[in-house]
Structure 1
Amino acid sequence: MKTPYLITFPKLGDPAIGYISVGEAGKTLPFPVARTFWTYFTPESIVRGRHAHHVTEQILIAVAGRIIVTTEMPDGEIQNFVLDSPHVGLFVPANAWHTMQYSHTAVQLVFASTPYDEQDYIRKHEDFLRIWGGAQ
């Protein structure tokens, strides 16, 4: 079963000219990207996510601000990740329940392995445990 992990993207450049980071499928990205989306201006009091997926894998990147991501695996293992650098992303497998809390200035970029499909979302925590807990 896959587990969440941090991905450090190349940070090319220097302070005098700025930086660029690159993600490429099969190299720094562990899957071909089928969908890209971003979130911004999320109030700090809001917790987003609160779901897992049947199939979709994601990479979350804080291109600005700070995002605290909490993942829970079907075996109960909980991890907290602080994303606050635009050259570091978090791989979130389908089998991870996850939540995100943002600084007000946070801009989150997400690379997803599949196009949007509401049927892929597991929105009830008890369903997540039933579906993925039996897959161990």
Structure 2
Amino acid sequence: MPATPYLLSFDHVGSPESGYITSTQLADNIPFVIKRVFWTQGTPPETTRGHHANMATEEVLVALTGSIKVLIDTGHARQEFELTHPQQGLYVPAMCWVELRFSEGATALCLTSTDYSKKDYIRDYAYFKKLTTHGAL
């Protein structure tokens, strides 16, 4: 059975008067060892990003600013999530097709379990469905 995407919360301290600090607190609530960190910004709201799955890479997505609508397809079920604040992340297991829509001015932070490898990406949805529904992994 494939792993299931889920929301997780990050530790944060502060106040409206002084601002907030949000932390993974030694990454205790991240379900993998973090190998890479990247962020995406400046995406027009009418653009959908993603359109891929990763063979091995697990991710945690965070909306640092703005909001991000995330569609995840495991090959067996589709789920929609909306990330609206930086104290919340979305765990995305390997072998999940992901599509993202950003609000105006949104910035996404991504923590991953692997370094970047072009070979890890599946960019053909029909091929992804074949792999996930026929057990061809």
Same-fold status (TM-score > 0.5) = yes
Partner of 2:30 in structure 1? 29
Partner SS, residue 132 of structure 1: helix
In the alignment, what sits opposite 1:15?
Answer: 16
TM-score, normalising length: structure 2: 0.93
Identical aligned residues as a percent: 38
Deviations 1:14-51 (A, max 9, x none): 222211111133x1111111111100010111000011
Structure-1 separation of matches of 2:122 and 2:80: 20
Alignment of 1:53 with 2:42, yes or no, is: no
Task: Report the equivalent of 2:98.
Answer: 98
Quote the offset at 1:74 in angstroms: 1.3
Q: Does the alignment pair 1:40 with 2:45? A: no
1:74 partnered with 2:75: yes
Could you say what secondary structure the match of 1:42 adopts? coil
Take 2:91 and 2:133, find their aligned partners in 1: how far apart are those partners?
Answer: 20
Q: Aligned residues, how many?
A: 134
Task: Give 1:111's aligned residue.
Answer: 111
Residue 128 of structure 2 aligns with which residue? Answer: 128
Partner letter of residue 124 of structure 2? K
TM-superposed CA distance for 1:132, in Å, is 2.3
Counterpart of 2:8, as a letter, is: I
d(CA) in 2 for partners of 1:134, 1:34? 30
SS in 2 for 1:21: strand
Whole-Å separation in 1 of the counterparts to 2:73 and 2:102: 18
Equivalent position SS for 1:128: helix
Q: Mind listing any 5+ residue stretches in structure 2 that lack a counterpart?
A: none
Return the TM-score normalized by structure 1. 0.94
1:134 shift after superposition: 3.2
- State the alpha-carbon separation in 2 of the partners of residues 20 and 96 from structure 1: 30
- CA RMSD after TM alignment: 1.3
Please give the alpha-carbon distance, in whole angstroms, between the structure 2 residues aligned to 1:53 and 1:132.
12
**In structure 2, what is the Cα distance between the partners aligned to 1:34 and 1:131?**
26
Q: Which moved more, 1:84-93 or 1:14-23?
A: 14-23
- State the Cα distance separating 1:94 from its structure 2 match: 0.9
Structure 1 runs (4+) deviating above 3 angstroms are none
Secondary structure of the residue aligned to 2:23 is: coil
